[in-house]
Amino acid sequence: MERIASSPQTANPLYLRALLEELRVYGDPLTLDQRIVHYLEAQTVPALYERILERYEQDYEHNRPGLVRDAMTCLWAARRGFSETELLELLGANGQPLPRAHWSPLYLVAEQALVSRSGFLSFFHDHLREAVQHRYLPGEQDRQAAHLWLAHYFAAAATGRRLLDELPWQLAAAAAWPALYTLLSDLAFFHTLRQADQFSLEAYWTQLEENGFIITAAYRPVLDQPEKHPTVQVAALSEFLDAAGHSNEALLLTEHIVEHCRNEQNEEGLAGALSFKADMSRTRGDLETSLTLYGQARQLFLAKGGISGVATTLGNEALVHKDKGELDQALQLHREAENFWQELGDRKGLMFSVGNQGVILYMRGELENALSMLRRQELICRELGNKEGLQACLGNQALVLMDQGNLDSARLLMAQQERICRELGRKFNLANCLGNQAALLIHQGKADLAVPMLEEQERICHDLGDKAGLSRSLSNQGAVARRRGEYKRAMELLKRVEQIDREMGHTVGLACALLCQGNVYYEIGDLDMAMSLYKESEKLCRQMREPKGIVESLSKQASLLWGFPERRDEARHLLAEAHSLASHFGFHALLETLDRARSEIADISSTINHEQNNL
């Protein structure tokens, strides 16, 4: 007891418990001291478990050689664990399960290190997992072979949710990409898996694309002849392809569904198809068409009593109004949608409604209210395990924190968002995330680090046909060019941005583009043109009641006017209004800039007064 208690590694309770469990079943008191020394030579918990596994092999493999290795390998390689029935089937021979008499002694002695979750055995902690991997699966080929062994088992023996959970996961873990590609190419399996575990499906396809497999090639038979496949499966594929960045193929399938539903007089299906087609129109920047389609879909849902569909279209119409700068109308529609989701008890619908309200509150400058709403959304996302909503929520919180001056926290949230987007293959959201991270770097004076992110964002947006995202990328690239003194290139980029935003009717982006153009003219000395653009940007922002844009345009006008001694009172007035707005709405990052400007003005004024007194 003294030897055990004085050994430093037994300060770890798990180590101590595992050691005492082993000594409890050791049956030779004459050699107990040597056994204690043998175990205490292991300095870590995984090292101790390796010695315990060695003892299991000596005691429990007489009737079934390799039992410990095979049983522990199965538990190590399983995604969700194994039922005892499944384990006995895997460990048996000649089509017969392993007799319980051979398994039970090993199970009883290892029981303390195992846990049963919903009837499936797995390791209680990672220390035993690490020991098993080190002892039985030291190389990558060993580990892949273990996963492939289980994939063959599940393909032959599993059904239902068990098959969906384990088979594609095992194939991915085994790097058996051709087999996984073939499995997911089956439209019926694809549809069932998407209903059961959408995020895993997206992750599998992300891995397949990274290894050279093409989504559209997998579903070419469906794309060529959609009429030969069930409409519900085609609709699911259309949504999936659109989210994965294959919008042209998604639109092709959606138009087929619209036509099919019209011919079949399936009003409920037609409403869903029109709503999804409206989503794609909005992404492509055709805001008026999307509003028309959403309106048609909403009327069909109302006629059929489809409250969920009504709530969804209300929320989507609100997104269009937000893009048009009609923030009050957008917020009202989101609140109507929220009431419907509350009535239905639909947490997923509520999640999106709450998050979208947070975005509009942020645009209106209500930062604390926006952050509160977005954190409420985050709780719902985590409760539902909804990674898609979570990534958007984290990114939007980061934008609020940026404006509050909390740049370190914003950067961490953006990094989390990027990781989730890449994991899910969410190219649209990834592009937004990259653009926001680039904007943060530009704000910190690290424009060179922002360039690769902006270029990747531009490529993704171009591939997706995402005009709004392309506009933001080009705008930030223009800001980088201006900081480098490349004024001609900066203006070319910003003119493209203005053209895109005017075509889309995207007022928010247009106001930003005009402000950035004004900055270029200011720096090259064309002050009249700069002032004209600053005022036009201010006018748009006031129409939208978008306080951040108002603050930025006022501060730029004040900086310009300060160069004219006779207009310094006007500059002070503009700067005071900008400071008041920034202070009221909590734009701490902008406040720091404004405070520096006011300080510089005060210093200059003091110098002028001192010189006048001397004269």
pLDDT per residue as tens digits for the range 236-276: 999 899 888 788 898 899 999 999 988 888 888 888 889 88
- Residue 78 pLDDT > 50: yes
Most confident option among 185-189, 556-560, 565-569, 585-589: 185-189
Query: What pLDDT score was predicted for residue 536?
Result: 92
CA angle 68, 71, 76 (to 5 degrees): 115
Over the stretch 473-485, which tens digit does the pLDDT of each residue have?
Answer: 999 999 899 888 9
Mean pLDDT to the nearest integer, 11-19? 91
pLDDT of res. 171: 96
pLDDT of residue 612: 38
Q: Check if the beta carbon of residue 559 is closer than 8 Å to that of residue 594.
A: no
Distance CA 602, CA 600 (A): 5
pLDDT score for 615: 39
> How many C-beta atoms surround the C-beta of residue 614 within 10 A?
6
Mind giving me the DSSP string for 110-143?
HGGGEEEETTEEEESSHHHHHHHHHHH--SHHHH
Question: What is the rounded average pLDDT for all residues in the chain?
Answer: 88
CB atoms within 10 A of CB 483: 16
Start-end of CATH 1.25.40.10 domains in the chain: 477-614
**Mean local confidence (pLDDT), 500-528:** 89
What's the DSSP call for residue 98? P
Does the CA dihedral 363-368-374-377 come out positive or negative? negative
Two tokens at 569?
């009172």
> What's the rounded mean pLDDT across residues 170-190?
95
In percent, how much of the chain has pLDDT > 90?
Answer: 50
What is each CA distance from 584 to 68, 346, 363, in whole angstroms? 67, 35, 14
Task: Calculate mean pLDDT across residues 534-548.
Answer: 88
* Residue 144 predicted with pLDDT over 60: yes
pLDDT digits (tens, 9 = 90+) for 25-39: 887 888 888 889 898
Per-residue pLDDT reduced to its tens digit, 146-172:
999 999 999 988 888 899 999 999 999
Encode pLDDT of 320-329 as tens digits: 998 888 889 9
pLDDT exceeds cutoff 50 at 348: yes
494 pLDDT above the threshold of 60: yes
C-alpha torsion sign, points 300, 303, 309, 311: positive
b (16+ CB within 10 A) / e for 489-504: ebbebbebbbebbeeb
Fold of the domain spanning 477-614: 1.25.40
What does the pLDDT average to over 550-555?
Answer: 90
DSSP state of 565: G
Looking at the predicted structure, is the pLDDT value of residue 205 above 50?
A: yes
Give residue 607's pLDDT.
Answer: 37
| Cα 403-408-413 angle, rounded to 5 deg | 85
Q: Are 284 and 467 in contact (CB under 8 A)?
A: yes
The pLDDT value recorded for residue 609 is 40
Mean pLDDT of 9-14: 90
pLDDT confidence bin for 137, thresholds 50/70/90: very high
Please report the pLDDT score of residue 589 as a whole number. Answer: 67
- Tell me: pLDDT of 586 over 90: no
How many angstroms separate the CA atoms of 410 and 374, rounded?
14
For residue 610, name the pLDDT band (cuts at 50, 70, 90): very low
Q: How many CB atoms lie within 10 A of CB 212?
A: 8
pLDDT in the model for residue 580: 87
pLDDT exceeds 60 at position 223: yes
